[in-house]
Amino acid sequence: MKKLIFLFIVFTLSLQASIHVLQNALQSPIEKSISYLEDTKGNLTYQQVQKLSFTPYTQERSLNFGFTKLVYWFKIDLQNASSQSDTHWWLKIDYPLLELIDIYLIGPDQRVITCKRMGTSQPFSSREIASHNFISELPLQNIKDATLLIRVKTQSSMQLPLAILSSEQLLEETEQNNLFVGGYYGIFFIVLLYNIVLYIYTRDRDYLRYILFITSFILWQLSFDGLGIKYFWGDDRWLIEHGSSALIAFTAFCALYFSRHFLNTALYAPKIDKAILLVMLISLVMSVASAIFPYGDVIPINAALASFIPIVLLIAGMVVMRHEHRAARFYVAGWSSFLIATVIFAFNKFDLIPTFYGVNHVQQIGSAIEMIFLSLALADRVYLLQREYIGKLNRLNDTLTEKVDHALNEARMKDRLFVQQSRLAAMGEMIEQIAHQWRQPLHTLALINQDMYINHKLGKCDNECFEQSHSRIDEHLQYLSKTIDDFRNFYKTDKSKSLEDLGELAVDALRLSDVFLKYAKIKTELNVSAVNKVNIAKNEMVQVLMNLIKNAHDAIVEQRISNGKVTINVEDAGTGVKISVEDNAGGISPNVMEKIFDIYFTTKDPDKGTGLGLHMSRYIIEESFGGKISVENIPGGARFIIFLIGEEEQALPIHDDSYRRNI
């Protein structure tokens, strides 16, 4: 609140200072009296009006008759004008919207000294001084008394803020005016650029709506100040005759459009929102009408619209502010300053309040402050969003450890379920292997039992025969028991790590895979030259090796290789141990190679492959053991390579350099 009071004080002081400076520049060097005459038909000549009676303008304010279609004549009696014969005098009319101005300087002998025509209906290049205001030199040297007649016709407000200045005063006032105009439009340029940058940064559409509002307002202000004719559209008749009025209505529409979305009146003030929508429609209709109908027919409606809209938006801002809409405070402050300035300006155009010098600038000052406040309101939204995001980030940081722990626990649970799923998938295959492994011993036991029974019936089963049969039965029963132990150990869920010899684990994997390898008539070869042990979980490593052996078996069977062979090499590799599983099934297709370890990826029939084996193998090797697994094609087949970090201090005692096993 203190900031708002401070800005209001600065605004008031700056306005008073600006008016004071301009008033000092307005002092005329000669006494003058002004009177006026209404030309109802608009066809009187200067000769005719000289014979008519003028009405003295007695009000202590600048000439202002509001919106009217009448032609007015103004008469100024200049006395003792030649008191300074070396001084050049200039007539300045500080209202750029006048359509037609005829100037007649008449001497004491009723002779016309000079006759000039100015106004927006004339080419800009015809102006004596390239100014947005109307300035004309008065040749008053060596003339004691003269009469100045001014004929004005306009579709805009009939007002004539004029001054007769010396060259020095004109130069001083022009410099002050240029300084004011440069500062004013400089503020708008900075605000416009600032909001463009914020829009690029935030992509918030409210900034885009605000940019549209600022742009339309600047174009209207350029038209109103006469700077548009001077610098931009020149003598374009349509823009001169329709641009100012059309831009008033369009700027009103843009202000309503921006405010409705910025304040979110549909949520916070639904009744006012309906009124805003109605006024938006009227503004849009008036924009189109202003582009078609004459300026004088639509400008009163647009001026009334421009006076009414700030009131509506100010009420909307105050209603929304009650809902603790923080940015609405800046909005209300901005529109309050603009409303005061607009009401003063509009009432002046309707001749409801006196004209004081600088009244044409009061709206500029109010609009500049309003634009600054609206920019602050939008910037405050960015600040609130940043604070909200920072608050969210702080809350996330407060619970980050808990969330990470929870996520890790879930990941570990998924890993356990994944490994268990892979193990269950392999169990179905192993049960088939057990059944095949037991079929031959059970068949042999049945034959031994049948032989003992027949010999007993024939009386040939002596002690020697019984002992032989008993030994043979016991041998096969031990084999069956050993098979059960092997598979039971494989399915233990113990994941505790210990130092293991990879050569021995390869032997276990080959023994568990012996049934399906023999059934497919696939030969195996195991070459072990490693002396280091590795710290791993035994059963998981055996499962990985069995997966690789089973994949080699499936590839050989699928390719119908008659002399299928699986080779396993275990060797030291620098700081670790390398174990490779090779086959002679023709290799892996390049487009399959990069996806071969992906989960659920398989080239087998859905009934025969799950796509879990290789993915699970990579997970165990890389995540659980900290090793590395890869695949490459070799001449005639494929090779899976596993690298695990070795434990040199636990090296195996070496009896031979290596051992070789062929099955």
* H/E element, 341: helix 327-349
First-last CA distance in the chain: 93
pLDDT at 482: 64
Minimum mean pLDDT range among 116-120, 266-270, 603-607: 603-607
**Which tokens sit at 192?**
């416009």
Correct CATH for 421-493 of 3.30.1540, 1.10.287, 1.10.10, 2.40.10? 1.10.287
pLDDT at 610: 60
What string of DSSP letters covers 142-159? T-SEEEEEEEEE-SSEEE
* H/E element, 46: helix 46-50
SS3 92: strand
pLDDT at 659: 45
452-479 pLDDT tens trace: 778 777 777 777 777 777 777 776 677 6
Cβ atoms of 373 and 333 closer than 8 Å? yes
pLDDT at 110: 84
State the average pLDDT for the chain: 78
pLDDT at 414: 66
Would you place residue 289 in the very low, low, confident or very high pLDDT band (cuts 50, 70, 90)?
very high
Would you place residue 571 in the very low, low, confident or very high pLDDT band (cuts 50, 70, 90)?
very high
> Which among 91, 86, 81 is positioned nearest to 146, based on CA atoms?
81
410-441 pLDDT tens trace: 766 766 666 666 666 555 555 655 665 565 56
73-99 pLDDT tens trace: 999 888 765 555 667 889 998 888 899
Q: What is the mean pLDDT of residues 526-552?
A: 87
Would you place residue 543 in the very low, low, confident or very high pLDDT band (cuts 50, 70, 90)?
confident
Q: What is the mean pLDDT of residues 12-25?
A: 33
Q: Which residues contact 645 (CB under 8 A, 6 or more apart)?
A: 534, 535, 575, 576, 626, 627
Query: Which CATH architecture is the domain 496-663 placed in?
Result: 2-Layer Sandwich (3.30)
Would you place residue 257 in the very low, low, confident or very high pLDDT band (cuts 50, 70, 90)?
very high
pLDDT of 400 above 80: no
More confident residue, 215 or 341: 215
Q: What is the mean pLDDT of residues 351-369?
A: 64
- CB-based burial label for 390 (10 Å; 0-12, 13-18, 19+): exposed
Q: How far apart are CA 463 and CA 146, in angstroms?
A: 164
Q: Please give the backbone phi and psi of residue 601, each rounded to the nearest 5 degrees, phi first.
A: -90, 125
143-197 pLDDT tens trace: 778 889 999 999 888 888 888 888 888 888 888 888 888 888 888 888 888 888 8
326-338 pLDDT tens trace: 667 777 777 677 7
Q: What is the mean pLDDT of residues 443-450?
A: 70
Q: Where are the alpha helices (DSSP H) in 399-528?
A: 400-458, 463-490, 502-512, 514-519
SS3 460: coil
114-140 pLDDT tens trace: 999 999 989 988 898 888 889 999 888
**Which tokens sit at 638?**
């494929």
Correct CATH for 31-160 of 2.60.40.1180, 2.60.40.2380, 3.40.50.800, 2.60.40.1120? 2.60.40.2380
pLDDT at 3: 41
Would you place residue 495 in the very low, low, confident or very high pLDDT band (cuts 50, 70, 90)?
low
Q: What is the mean pLDDT of residues 327-355?
A: 68
Domain ranges within the chain, ordered by starting residue: 31-160, 193-397, 421-493, 496-663
Q: How far apart are CA 194 and CA 196, in angstroms?
A: 6
pLDDT at 202: 79
* Percent residues over pLDDT 90 in the chain: 16
pLDDT of 2 above 60: no
Q: How far apart are CA 432 and CA 453, in angstroms?
A: 31
585-597 pLDDT tens trace: 888 888 888 888 8
